[in-house]
Amino acid sequence: MRDRVLAQYGHELEIEGRRYTYVLYPGTGGALAVHFSAFFGEWGERRAYRAQYSGHFHRLRMFWPLVEHSFLFVCDTFGADRNGTYYKGENGDFFVERAIGEILDRTHDRLGIPADRTVTLGSSMGATGALRFALERGYAGAIAVSPHIDLDLSALHQGRQRHVAAIVGRDDVQSPELFSVTREIRALAESVPTTTRIVLQSMCDDHGVYEEQVLPFVAQWRERGGHVLLDERAVGGHTSEYAPREWFAAQLDWCLGGSSRGT
């Protein structure tokens, strides 16, 4: 199934001299779901797949039955170990962010789907990308599972020091001088219009994420009058067994203006 989907819907694009791959398949309705892949190693360290970008699109089969939505799958293969830059870039040059922006623009133009019918999805690093682009672009919603929100805290508590250092080009990633990058999502949540509906799923034992990042973000968004659903689970750490296809489908419906919670 995946090989057939990739052959028909896979795309390659060169932007600023770098190659990007993505998958776009159209749905029957007028909404777009954008899925951001997480760090590749988090689902098995199957490095042999890295030569074929299909390895990064591991949720193709999961979302394929949701044919009422168009789906765009993107991934970040730059940075430390070529394993992701939180969809930013390297050494202070945020070329990944610019490239993903161009891919999004092309997709909107091709499908004719506007921002207010677009929802982003992702887990861990993918959730960072989902939140950042949804807030910056005023999308209808963002669905973030075990999200890394503050990159300096993720570096400190989640073993991502090398990955964040590669983004900013220096090792002192906890420096307040870097907050414009490392705490960009927090700044966006403080400044952008609160039209984006946000769903967060987080495990209470996810050290360095749940209490330190997720709860402050939820409080911030709610204080500004934004709509946010927090799906809290007692255990699971930085993984989730509570986000099957049916859960994502319910959250997509809610982000697009429905009443379903699915939590």
pLDDT at 51 over 50: no
Contact predicate 108/114, CB 8 Å: yes
Report the predicted TM-score, pTM, of the whole model to 2 decimal places.
Answer: 0.93
Listed in sequence order, the residues at least 6 apart from 171 whose beta carbon sits closer than 8 Å to its beta carbon are 161, 165
Please report the pLDDT score of residue 261 as a whole number: 55
Name the CATH superfamily for 2-255.
Alpha/Beta hydrolase fold, catalytic domain (3.40.50.1820)
Q: Work out the pLDDT band at 47, boundaries 50, 70, 90.
A: very low
Q: H helices of the chain, where?
A: 2-9, 60-63, 95-111, 125-137, 151-157, 161-168, 179-182, 184-191, 215-223, 245-255
- Domain spans in the chain, listed from the N-terminal domain onward: 2-255
Give counts: helices (H), strands (E), the chain.
10, 8
pLDDT of 156-207, one tens digit each? 999 999 999 999 999 999 999 999 999 999 999 999 999 999 999 999 999 9
Predicted local distance difference test score (pLDDT) of residue 207: 96
